[in-house]
Amino acid sequence: MKLQTLLTAAAIAIAVPAAGFAEDHQVHMLNRGADGQMMVFEPAFLQIEPGDTVTFLPTDPSHNAESIPSMMPEGAETFRGRINQEITVTFDQEGVYGIKCLPHYGLGMVAVIQVGDDTANLEAARSVRHPARANQRMPELLSQVQE
């Protein structure tokens, strides 16, 4: 009887989809990062697996998190958080995602999330022009993508 129970438990464990083991990553929206930079997501780069979630936390006031539509994989849905509100986003589609804080986009408040191994939209993401300081920060973030 114990062997049958063990085999049943093993079969159930194998049958559970990988999404059952999805992780939740946290990104803080800050006026000043640990490195002294102003208006940042921390961390500003994440590499996650499909099905993982990212919770954007308004640690400091007056921030939001939203996708940059021209920096998303084909078929992925855009998202837009409200100012001063936490938002949790599930990333199911593999690829490279650009994230911004709308009020501080021009001040360079951007982030990049790589989901899985598919980087088919990386070159398109690199070609996107951003305002002011975001245009300076984005290349460094995109350089962290694992091709």
User: Could you report the per-residue pLDDT of 1-38, keeping only the tens digit for each?
Assistant: 454 544 444 444 444 444 458 899 999 999 999 999 99
User: Could you report the per-residue pLDDT of 63-92, keeping only the tens digit for each?
Assistant: 999 999 999 999 999 999 999 999 999 999
Beta-sheet pairing, 110-115 with 45-48: parallel
Q: Is 112 left (phi over 0), alpha (psi -120 to 50) or beta?
A: beta
